[in-house]
Amino acid sequence: MTSRRTLLAILGAAHLFGSHVAAAPLDSGLDICLPFGIEVGLFIDLFDPPQVTEVVPCFVTSTTAIPSAGTYVVPAGISTGTVTAQGATDLCVTSVTTTTTTYPCSTATSFPTTWWDPCKSSSTSGTCRWTPPATSAPTTVTRTVTSTVTQSDTSAPTTVTDTVTSTVTQSATSCPVTTSTPTPTLSCDPYGYLIQYASLYQVDLTTGTATEVASAIGANTSINAIGYNTLDNYLYGYQASTNTILQISADGTAVTVSADAPPSGSYIGDIDSNGHYWVGLGAASSWAEIDLAPGSPTYGKILANGTATSPGYGVADWVYIPSAGEYLYAVGSNTSPSETALLRFDMSTHEWETVANYGALGVVGVGAVYGMNNGTVYASENGNGQIWQFPISGETPFMVSQGPPSGNNDGARCVLNLLA
């Protein structure tokens, strides 16, 4: 019977097309905090199957009498499809409608997703990955869409059935929520923070006493270019071996930030009032301004970068002091002849300026500087550990305390804490 074969062929083709799996949407309430040490930007293994939405083609869910040749609009609810009776037994379907069903995914799948991370107070992205457990017993779920057309002027009715069958391994659940305790923030305390190799120290700038907070941070390789973000009270630093930015908490736990990489080998860093991380390789090399403002639409992106022209001194750290304008201050030095200078990098023109040259001050090789918003740069001398105060007005600097000698280091502090 030609008409019946035609009808079945149309529905069969439409079924093949429609059985492609469409989207696997996440729950709108997804709230993921990744556990300590797990890298954002990789895979999130789902504990339950994600929901799969499938568009199923169907003819129409009603019965229609076809008395004679002509075109008839199918009267029932969901369809705008039409049925044409071209003769007593010559029946064809001229359109196919669709219906949507949602069910738990039964096969391994992965899909990219972006969510708001309340631990970081920023949006981040990763890939959700679902692998059906090998051990669970499969359950068969059958969804049937039946379309029936009855011809009243012939003895035999024409019935077409469109059936979609899928096998699932679990009952329907939503995309899961995984949570962990957020890493503890710092508290804008009076201390300076010194990173040396992969260990973090808290330094009392007035007495010079240093206390170890944590060791073997991140990949337990050298961390440098640390800065204090006053917008979220975390320290951020650059770990060269992984070429990534680390967010370091009060107890030294570190989380890799999903962000553009700083210039390779960076060792100077600080974060301005807008949460922008200024990071680079000293006075005469690459620098970058990277957005680390929580919730920013450009979070993690390089906002600007370039190569600076040397001011003529070696520089190993810089610091942003909000009350002193849009500059990054540094203590530069040369050994032959021995001279020390207060420098600043203009954050708009991206050029260095010399604020004051103090001549032979005996402070060479400043690896860590700490800013204070009353206009002071505290500078730690690598070789002898002395901590000096440099007023940004250019007045004569002086030694404040005896701190720990260190190398392979960098310093940061909450610039808004005024000690007093």
Ligand X SMILES: *[C@@H]1O[C@H](CO)[C@@H](O)[C@H](O)[C@H]1NC(C)=O
| Residues that bind ligand X in the complex, under the rule CB under 6 A | 216, 220, 260, 263, 286, 302, 305-307, 372, 374-376, 391, 418-420
Smallest distance, Å, CB 247 to ligand X? 20
In the block, tokens 């003895």 appear at 155
Q: Cα(123)–Cα(137) distance, rounded to whole angstroms?
A: 37
Smallest distance, Å, CB 106 to ligand X? 41
Pairing of strands 223-229, 234-239: antiparallel
Residue type, 71: T
Smallest distance, Å, CB 215 to ligand X? 7
Smallest distance, Å, CB 26 to ligand X? 30
Q: Which is nearer to ligand X, 52 or 292 (CB)?
A: 292
Chain centroid offset of residue 413 CA: 25
Q: Cα(341)–Cα(390) distance, rounded to whole angstroms?
A: 10
Q: Which is nearer to ligand X, 218 or 314 (CB)?
A: 218
Q: Which is nearer to ligand X, 11 or 279 (CB)?
A: 279
Strands (E), 230-373: 234-239, 244-248, 254-256, 268-271, 276-280, 286-291, 302-307, 319-320, 327-335, 338-346, 352-359, 366-372
Q: Cα(42)–Cα(298) distance, rounded to whole angstroms?
A: 19
Smallest distance, Å, CB 364 to ligand X? 23
Smallest distance, Å, CB 46 to ligand X? 31
Q: Which is nearer to ligand X, 153 or 251 (CB)?
A: 251
| φ, ψ for residue 229, nearest 5 deg | -95, 110
| φ, ψ for residue 218, nearest 5 deg | 60, -125
Q: Which is nearer to ligand X, 263 or 275 (CB)?
A: 263
Retrieve residue 153's tokens: 């002027």
Is the separation of the CB atoms in 228 and 319 below 8 Å?
no
Q: Which is nearer to ligand X, 172 or 419 (CB)?
A: 419
- Burial class of 413 by CB neighbour count within 10 A (0 to 12, 13 to 18, 19+): buried
Look up residue 375 and give its DSSP letter. Answer: T
| φ, ψ for residue 180, nearest 5 deg | -150, 165
Residue type, 153: D
Q: Which is nearer to ligand X, 391 or 394 (CB)?
A: 391
Smallest distance, Å, CB 161 to ligand X? 58
Chain centroid offset of residue 12 CA: 44
Smallest distance, Å, CB 351 to ligand X? 15
Q: Which is nearer to ligand X, 30 or 226 (CB)?
A: 226
- C-alpha distances in Å from residue 3, one per residue of 79, 95, 163: 21, 15, 20
Smallest distance, Å, CB 396 to ligand X? 12
Other C-beta atoms closer than 10 Å to the C-beta of 245 total 26
Q: Cα(229)–Cα(163) distance, rounded to whole angstroms?
A: 58
Retrieve residue 130's tokens: 């679902």
Q: Which is nearer to ligand X, 7 or 198 (CB)?
A: 198
Smallest distance, Å, CB 197 to ligand X? 7
Residue type, 293: A
Q: Which is nearer to ligand X, 141 or 302 (CB)?
A: 302
